[in-house]
């Protein structure tokens, strides 16, 4: 059997555009002589459509895309992720399904059973689970078709499981010759290799070929990396889709030729690609051809500029330098060097005169050291926010926010200042990771794109004389391991301390993270590009108003 992976980038709610892409992929698969083409989960409507799945018109017309797709499958079979209405008056109004189509006929649906509601997932809010199973026969080959989470519960692979049942085991027991798994599995660190290991393990154990197709594209903060795989019955990966790109290619299931092109051992490179895709798709899908950001001469805004230049083209990026009385001469020079290296547009909009006027009007003292006059310090950041938003409005540019996860986690940011923007590019990237990505960009290019002077300089907000981040925060090299374990592993203070972190640092850091004032700031952030589990953003839910505080045991 010849099988085509159709890893396509769809947009929530763009039924016409998504359907056209599906039909184009079917036509390519047919021209390749494919027997079967497989698409990702809910590819017709967009998996992250959220409460649109509760909209009456969406439910009533749920099957409309299939009416256009089915007639295009003459001479080929297709598995298409979509939705279908629940005719039973009880339960959620939709099923999340794989439509199985062959030679112009809809053979039926494989409904999703296991509905995730952790991290960024909220399937039970929209979909009704189904225990119904069936096998689909294509050219004499029996397909066991499962939808995303229904493949992710293998008791021989996972040490801990979220569900008792395993729909994939059930279709194998029913006699499936080939397993087809359609997915919308978001990117996070380590996920690409994990999926490959999971697919290869099950294929080898069950002696069944597995076709695992994953969604590609940025959808608000959630980034799908694709990296779809096909494994033969020996567990060898015989087709590996390129990560972070659309991919429509065909392979013979018994080809016996390992293919590892989409697997990267460099996690920093994967993060870079994810962020570039996230910026590009957020801008493109929301109608922005151009972006703007504030360039301070620090590493965070510098990295965002480099990523944005790659995502949308340097000619479409405007970097705005907004020096205050406390901006160092080096910051402007370093920013100018970066702009030359990237080839993007730039301009200078000084804020010193406006700052002086507002100081007098508000009867505030100009800061003489960090923290002495927070209102005056923050006023500078907010003035910059006003300028950037004005440019965004006047020129139709998407404003990119540049704060990193370490700062946002502990509240080292200014609400309505540096938190302004349409997209938080580094909101899930720790400061130490920011430095790693910057060095990686230079190493990959074989030249200095990001000036070493920017990478090596001590971090500073430059809102007061001789101000450095380390005056207010622990060194990032010490704080980031605490934040990483807390967010990504949901580790307890005791576990973080056991890993070798200082107890006082752990408790002080976590209490800053959980401070209501800092949660208040985070909940007003722009959409944040997510590259880790349990990230700041849609997958992390905390109340603003609370009295909880972590007390260190005596």
Active site residues: 41, 112, 148
**Ramachandran region, residue 543 (left: φ > 0; alpha: ψ -120 to 50; beta: rest):** beta
User: Three-state SS for 79?
Assistant: strand
Please, which residues have CB within 8 angstroms of residue 543's CB and are 6 or more apart in sequence?
519
Number of neighbouring beta carbons within 10 Å of residue 426: 29
What's the Cα-to-Cα distance from 155 to each of 47, 200, 306, 505, rounded to whole Å?
A: 26, 15, 43, 38
Task: Give the tokens for residue 155.
Answer: 């008791």
Strand 2-7, strand 247-252: pairing? antiparallel
What's the Cα-to-Cα distance from 207 to each of 3, 34, 151, 329, 333, rounded to whole Å?
A: 18, 22, 16, 65, 61
Closest by alpha carbon to 507, among 474, 537, 534?
474
Number of H helices, E strands in the chain: 17, 19
User: Three-state SS for 239?
Assistant: strand
What burial class does residue 261 get, using C-beta atoms within 10 Å of its C-beta: 0-12 exposed, 13-18 middle, 19+ buried? Answer: exposed
Determine phi and psi for 270, rounding to 5 degrees: -65, -40
Closest by alpha carbon to 371, among 465, 297, 296?
465
Task: Give the tokens for residue 47.
Answer: 């998996």
Closest by alpha carbon to 26, among 43, 11, 12?
43
DSSP state of 106: E
Closest by alpha carbon to 79, among 33, 37, 46, 41?
37
């Amino acid at each position: 059997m010849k099988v085509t992976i159709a890893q396509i980038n769809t947009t929530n709610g763009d039924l016409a555009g998504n359907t056209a892409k599906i039909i184009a992929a079917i036509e390519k698969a047919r021209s390749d002589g494919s027997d079967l083409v497989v698409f990702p989960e809910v590819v017709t409507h967009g998996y992250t459509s959220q409460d649109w799945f509760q909209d009456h018109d969406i439910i009533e017309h749920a099957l409309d895309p299939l009416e256009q797709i089915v007639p295009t499958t003459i001479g080929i079979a297709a598995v298409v992720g979509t939705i279908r209405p629940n005719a039973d008056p009880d339960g959620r109004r939709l099923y999340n399904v794989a439509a199985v189509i062959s030679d112009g006929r809809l053979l039926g649906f494989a409904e999703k059973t296991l509905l995730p509601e952790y991290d960024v997932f909220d399937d039970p809010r929209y979909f009704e689970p189904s225990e119904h199973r069936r096998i689909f026969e294509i050219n004499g080959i029996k397909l066991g078709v499962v939808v995303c989470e229904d493949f992710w519960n293998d008791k021989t692979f996972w040490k801990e499981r979220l569900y008792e049942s395993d729909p994939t085991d059930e279709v194998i027991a029913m006699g499936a010759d080939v397993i087809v798994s359609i997915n919308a599995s978001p990117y996070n660190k380590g996920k690409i290799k994990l999926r490959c290991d999971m697919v290869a393990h099950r294929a080898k154990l069950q002696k069944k070929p597995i076709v695992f197709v994953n969604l590609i594209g940025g959808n608000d903060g959630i980034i799908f990396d694709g990296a779809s795989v096909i494994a033969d019955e020996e567990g060898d990966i015989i087709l590996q889709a390129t990560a972070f790109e659309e991919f429509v290619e065909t392979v013979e299931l018994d080809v016996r030729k390992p293919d590892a092109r989409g697997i990267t051992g460099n996690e920093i490179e994967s993060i870079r690609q994810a962020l570039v895709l996230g910026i590009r798709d957020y801008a493109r899908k929301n109608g922005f051809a151009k972006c703007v950001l504030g360039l301070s001469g620090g590493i965070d805004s510098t990295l965002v500029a480099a990523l944005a230049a790659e995502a949308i083209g340097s000619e479409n990026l405007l970097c705005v330098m907004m020096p205050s009385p406390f901006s160092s001469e080096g910051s402007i020079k370093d920013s100018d060097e970066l702009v030359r290296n990237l080839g993007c547009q730039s301009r200078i909009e000084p804020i010193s005169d406006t700052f002086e006027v507002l100081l007098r009007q508000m009867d505030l003292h100009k800061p003489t050291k960090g923290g002495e006059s927070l209102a005056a310090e923050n006023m500078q950041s907010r003035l910059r926010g006003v300028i950037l938003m004005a440019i965004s409005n006047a020129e139709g540019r998407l404003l990119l926010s540049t704060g990193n996860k370490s700062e946002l986690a502990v509240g080292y940011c200014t609400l309505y200042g540096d938190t302004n923007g349409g997209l938080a590019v580094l909101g899930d990237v720790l400061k130490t990771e920011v430095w790693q990505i910057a060095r990686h960009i230079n190493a990959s290019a074989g030249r200095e794109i990001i000036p070493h002077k920017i990478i090596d300089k001590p971090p500073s907000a430059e809102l007061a004389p001789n101000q450095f981040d380390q005056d207010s925060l622990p060194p990032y090299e010490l704080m980031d391991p605490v934040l990483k374990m807390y967010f990504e592993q949901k580790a307890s203070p005791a576990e973080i301390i056991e890993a070798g972190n200082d107890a006082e640092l752990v408790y002080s850091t976590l209490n800053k993270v959980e401070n209501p004032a800092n949660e208040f700031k985070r909940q007003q952030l722009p959409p944040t590009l997510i590259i880790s589990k349990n990230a700041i953003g849609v997958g992390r839910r905390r109340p603003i108003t609370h009295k909880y505080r972590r007390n260190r045991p005596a």
